[in-house]
Structure 1
Amino acid sequence: MFLDAQFPPDLAEAVRCRYRELGDRLRRADPDVAVRSSATAEDLPEASFAGQQETFLNITGEQALLADCKRCYASLFTDRAISYREHHGFDHLKVALSIGVQQMVRSDRAGAGVMFTLDTDSGFPHVVLVNAAFGLGESVVGGRVDPDEYQVFKPLLAQAGTTPVISKSVGGKQTKVVYGDSARQPTVTVATTEEEQAACVLDDAEILQLARWGVLIEEHYGHPMDIEWAKDGDTGELYIVQARRETVQARKQAATLRSFRLWERGERLTTGLAVGDAIAAGPVCNLRSATEIGRFKDGAVLVTETTDPDWEPIMKRAAAIVTDHGGRTSHAAIVSRELGVAAVVGTTHATSVLLDGREITVCCAEGEEGVVYDGVLDYDEQDIDLAEVPATTTRVMLNIANPSAAFRWWRLPADGVGLARMEFIVNTHIKIHPMALVRFDELADEHARDRIAELTRGYADKTEYFVELLAHGIARIAAAWWPKPVIVRMSDFKTNEYARLIGGRQFEPAEHNPMLGWRGASRYYSEGYRKGFGLECRALRRVRDEIGLTNTVVMIPFCRTLSVLPHP
């Protein structure tokens, strides 16, 4: 009915008039614009309506503009929009919609994405989370790519001389959305180059600029925000194109901590980004498109390439959700948080390995990495009321190994971190022996050389890979408890453990008792590891001096003193 109707003549002429005025300001006829929806019921604390109404990009000409405005209004009454309002109890005729017509940002020649002014999974309020991909932003919002992810520590943004980027993860970014070559196909999806896949979309200065804008927008509205941004490839300028209230963490009870624990392990079938920190189990329902949702059974684990609003009628009936593509700000991640459903996104190949009917356990309770295990495993959950945790005279500090889990515990009334183990970051996140990076040209193991070349892709200096990943891992732990002290122990691997790192066997002796051997302080000043220790020191200096987290305290293990006793 909407599509068959005509605009009132005065409204149609007003739209044409304003479109011409925009063209005059930009000094070009028929400028390319975005037609974006904004409904009255969107972004409420109890229902986000994320992605329910349509957006149309690269629209040119008065006739096309009016046609797509009509299509935008009509999207209030698609099957998925009706289903969502029915589920949340909204009157269909009391939801109004306005349309914003914006000048297009030529992000098809640069990049775009989403940022949140808190950590979307833990609710940690002191970071800005930025997702970025090349091309127009709909690929990130729609979860069709695995984007870059950057985290910025808010409390140090205003401190001169610091660069408080505490995490950078380069996503696969296999495709991008760019302008099409006709009115019938205004946008198209194309493959990215290998150089684009290995590169960061934004540099540190741009990441910090977006984060500062995010904080300003949050302060203006008085709530954590979900913001879309874009970079113009012609001018190099950054733009904010949409801001809406974050609707998931805002509903959670701040004084309650829900804790999940997995009591056993099975075969790891696939991994991806964990959404939330829940655990769920059930049979796989592997669906290739939304046209198959009729065969979904309540309590199954939905496995698919990616989701959009068409999937929502069954997402709320799923025990868990696993996708091939998407980051923590994709549609699947946003809706999973809203529904309280465990999800693992960006696995790259879940649809290939998780076959229909297979019983699996989806675990998001082990940090940022979500794991899909074979079989139904034993786990439990409990709610802890933090208001009832008694104060203690003794200072209670935590032991933390995994930086990806640090934000999960920020609500605990701890006095800081008594021990953060550097070797966990090296073993889990870096994976390469530091001396194999320092002396890469001397490495004899061809397989190790190939693996290191793959992991350090995008780094002109291979030692910078070690320094950056170690600095960011330490920084995440230090940020979670700022300004309370965080004691970081320098690496304390034994020689047999160092040898298991990529490229490590060439640089480690075979010791009969590694427990008492070449480890700790005695290793640091010896020629066989001195430059490796130098990388550790560079990382810590970066955390304290460049990022600005001066609450980081260094511990040197195994400082051995030989007492000089008088000869009997």
Structure 2
Amino acid sequence: SSIVNTETPQEKQKQWVLNDEEITQLAKWSFIIEEHYQMPMDIEWAKDGISGKLFIVQARPETVHSKRDPYLKTEYSVKEKGTVLSKGNAIGSGIAAGKARIILSSADAHLLKEGEVLVTDITNPDWDPILKKAAAIITNKGGRTSHAAIVAREVGAVAVVGTGDATEKIKDGMLVTVSCAQGKTGFVYEGKLNWTEQNLDFRNMKMPETKPMMILGDPEKAYGYSFYPNQGIGLMRLEFIINSAIKIHPMALVNFDTLKDAEAKKHIDEITYHYADKKEYFIDKLSQAVGTIAAAFYPKDVIVRMSDFKTNEYANLVGGKEFEPEEENPMIGFRGASRYYNERYREGFKLECEAMKRVRNEMGLTNVKLMIPFCRTVEEGKKVVDLMHAYGLKRGDNDLEIYVMAEIPSNVILAKEFSEVFDGFSIGSNDLTQLTLGLDRDSAIVSDLFDENNKAVKTMIATVIKTAKENGAKIGLCGQAPSDYPEFAQFLVEQGIDSISYNPDALLKGIENMVKAELKVKTNL
């Protein structure tokens, strides 16, 4: 036979196909080709295995993605009645159907096939890669601000959380329909039901004067969501990127040579194969992900919140257990700003700052602003800002703004003092509600008491908005309430808030509520 099969050596299998210069060259050629033909092009290239030279071998009109209208939104509606197997909190507004797959441990992730419906008890960041594969997500536990709900919104998945009985009522392998199209309650139906999908054009949508912004963590969704009506990203969480793309505890990379866990060290070595400097792996991956989102929304502001894992979540990263203490209540433990200047994480925070510096200074994406979460005291805020300065991120340089989350009662009570340290606030309504009312938002027993419309919570929010405005600080809010409750949106508009940030699935409803609220406020003047 004239055909010879040759084994590719392991080192060649693992080497990069292209280097950075070659990628840049292909990108430049692509721009030239599209500019010449004045249309989206499907371009093929090849690299000569002997000379190493690059060649464009084909260019033809692109006829799939370019035909899709990015300004259309799909609305879903169930067209027949079915047997309800379970119900809970609806996340998103879509409908999906598929075989139910009951998985109770992230270690069994391989059992879930693409397009199947994940049914489980509860999730944590270990589940992130699994959640991206599921056609829909159903959990027994958790509310609208639980981990499964947050990730489902970010990856655009249909989810019904907090059902209480899904793993009992739904049988493994059963065909089900998951609907979040009927409002706040999501339903799981037996069998595959018929439903309709309607595309809405929001190019000419009436926009409010208050800025509608988005909450986003997944770079893969950035360019699609950039076509939605918005004024930028009000909250970009780093946790999604660290958990799904990086996967390794930053301190395990900093201390790679002295790691005690041999298995974790081996795993890290495999993941970071191309990086002689393990710290560079973290900086490179994080800067690329943040840069992708910042580029998609440029020149609009993209407010990046520095990492806010709890200790139990950090411990689940590869090599993490060696660096995290065990805490009785991680929700109010070693998290947020307190980590950044502490010797346990200081060098890990430095890696985060190096990545942000690369995005702003090397990529030129100065629309990236930074935000500090869970900052308990003014003194703590000063420590973090000073440390960022020492790491090359000086407030005011190259238009750098640093914000703080207003999610602890102390942020509200001392808002004037905090406004002297930071450029603005973002109200985290989930944690602020939790800490004002003294409840655990993940507890099913007291979840019915979780209410942003509670008078105490609204008093806290009104107070911090008023103080911020009096001291010339920007202020926005990130949360679900303004899209769920028109009266809450009106309350925020009446207080004079600058911006409201929504998950993508709630953005259009949120904008509608903001427009109506502003009209009512003007009518009442």
Structure 2 length-normalised TM: 0.50
Change (3 A) 1:220 1:438: same
Deviation at 1:387, TM superposition (A): 3.0
Q: Does structure 1 residue 404 correspond to structure 2 residue 220?
A: yes
**Cα distance change of structure 1 residues 533 and 381 upon mapping to structure 2, 3 Å threshold:** farther
- Range moving further from structure 2, 450-459 or 537-546: 450-459
Match of 2:378 in 1: 561
1:428 to 222, 227, 244: 244
1:249-282 alpha-carbon deviations (Å, 9 max, x no partner):
23223432336835687447769999xxxx799x
Equivalent position of 2:312 in the other structure: 496
Task: From the superposition, tell whether residues 530 and 498 of structure 1 become closer, same or farther in structure 2 (CA, over 3 Å).
Answer: same
In structure 2, C-alpha distance between the alignment counterparts of 1:246 and 1:271, rounded to whole Å: 36
Moved more, 460-469 or 401-410: 401-410
Counting only pairs closer than 5 Å after superposition, residues 34-433 of structure 1 correspond to structure 2 as 182=2, 185=3, 190-258=6-74, 261=94, 266-267=101-102, 381-433=197-249
Q: What is the CA–CA distance in structure 2 between the aligned matches of 1:252 and 1:430, rounded to whole Å?
A: 32
Q: Contact 1:266–1:377 at 8 Å: present in 2 too?
A: no
Secondary structure at the counterpart of residue 248 of structure 2: coil
Q: In the aligned structure 1, how far is the partner of 2:113 from the partner of 2:64?
A: 18
Query: Distance in 2 between the 1:462 and 1:515 partners?
Result: 30
Name the SS for the 2:235 alignment partner: strand
User: Residue type matched to 1:460 in 2?
Assistant: A
Q: State the secondary structure of the residue aligned to 1:397.
A: strand
Amino acid aligned to 1:249: H
2:257 aligned counterpart, secondary structure:
helix
Instruction: Give the structure with the higher percent strand.
Output: 1
1:413 maps to amino acid:
P
Distance 1:458-1:391 versus aligned 2 partners, 3 A rule: same
| Whole-angstrom CA distance in 2 between matches of 1:251 and 1:402 | 24
Shift, 1:190, TM fit: 4.0
| Matched letter for residue 350 of structure 2 | G
- Cα displacement (A) at 1:362: 12
8 A contact 1:433–1:504 mirrored in 2:
yes
Decide whether the 8 Å contact of 1:280 with 1:362 is kept in 2. no
Residue 291 of structure 2 corresponds to 475
Matched, 1:456 2:275: no
Could you say what secondary structure the match of 1:419 adopts? strand
How do 1:434-445 residues align onto structure 2 when only pairs under 5 Å count? 434-445=250-261
- In structure 2, the CA distance between the partners of 1:433 and 1:360, relative to structure 1 (3 Å rule), is farther
Aligned residue pair count: 293
Q: CA deviation at 1:360?
A: 7.3
Counterpart among 533, 537, 541 of residue 353 in structure 2: 537
Contact 1:280 1:361 in 2 (8 A): no
Aligned to 1:516: 332
After superposition, the Cα gap between the structure-2 partners of 1:267 and 1:552, relative to the gap in structure 1 and judged at 3 Å, is: farther
User: Following the alignment from structure 2 to structure 1, what is the Cα–Cα distance between the partners of residues 60 and 111?
Assistant: 30
**Correspondence for 1:446:** 262
- The separation in 2 between residues aligned to 1:503 and 1:461, in whole angstroms, is 16
Structure 1 residue matching 2:26: 3-state secondary structure: helix
Distance 2:29 2:112 in 1: 30
Task: Indicate conservation of the 8 Å contact 1:262/1:380, yes or no.
Answer: no
On the 8 A contact 1:226/1:246 being kept in 2, the answer is: yes
Distance, in Å, in 1 between the alignment partners of 2:44 and 2:6 is 22
Distance in 1 between residues matched to 2:294 and 2:113, nearest whole Å: 22
Give the unaligned 5+ runs of structure 2: 76-92, 104-108, 118-134, 136-172, 179-189, 380-409, 415-525
Hey, what's the Cα distance between the residues in 2 that align with 1:200 and 1:361?
42
8 Å CA contact 1:258, 1:384 repeated in 2: yes
RMSD: 3.6
Judge conservation of contact 1:261–1:380 (CA < 8 Å) in 2: no
2:64 and 2:251 map into 1 onto residues whose CA distance is 44
Identity rate, percent? 49
2:330 maps to amino acid: P
* Mapped partners of 1:246, 1:361: distance in 2: 36
Q: Which has the higher helix share?
A: 2
Cα distance change of structure 1 residues 193 and 446 upon mapping to structure 2, 3 Å threshold: same
Maintained 8 Å contact 2:70/2:224: no
Distance 2:177 2:68 in 1: 22
Distance 2:300 2:206 in 1: 19
Query: Shift of residue 376 of structure 1?
Result: 6.5
**Alignment partners' CA distance in 2, 1:468 and 1:496:** 25
Shift of 1:210: 0.5
Q: Distance in 1 between matches of 2:321 and 2:116?
A: 40
For residues 71 and 335 of structure 2, the distance between their equivalents in structure 1, rounded to whole angstroms, comes to: 43
Mapped partners of 1:222, 1:382: distance in 2: 31
- With over 3 angstroms needed to count, the CA separation of the structure-2 counterparts of 1:190 and 1:272, relative to structure 1, is farther
Partner of 2:145: none
Report how far residue 390 of structure 1 moved: 1.9
The amino acid that maps onto 2:269 is A
Partners of 2:307 and 2:336 within 8 A in 1:
yes
Q: Deviations over 1:453-472 (max 9, x none)?
A: 22112221111221111111
Structure 1 unpaired stretches of 5+: 1-180, 282-319, 321-357, 364-374
Question: How far apart, in 2, do the equivalents of 1:271 and 1:394 lie?
Answer: 46
- Measured after TM superposition, the shift of residue 412 of structure 1 is 0.3
Paired residues of 2:95 and 2:177 also in contact (CA < 8 A): no
Change (3 A) 1:214 1:395: same
Instruction: Quickly say closer, same or farther: Cα 1:434–1:396, change in 2 above 3 A.
Output: same
SS in 2 for 1:236: coil
Q: 2 CA distance for matches of 1:435 and 1:228?
A: 41
Do 1:397 and 1:417's aligned partners in 2 also have CA atoms closer than 8 Å? Answer: yes
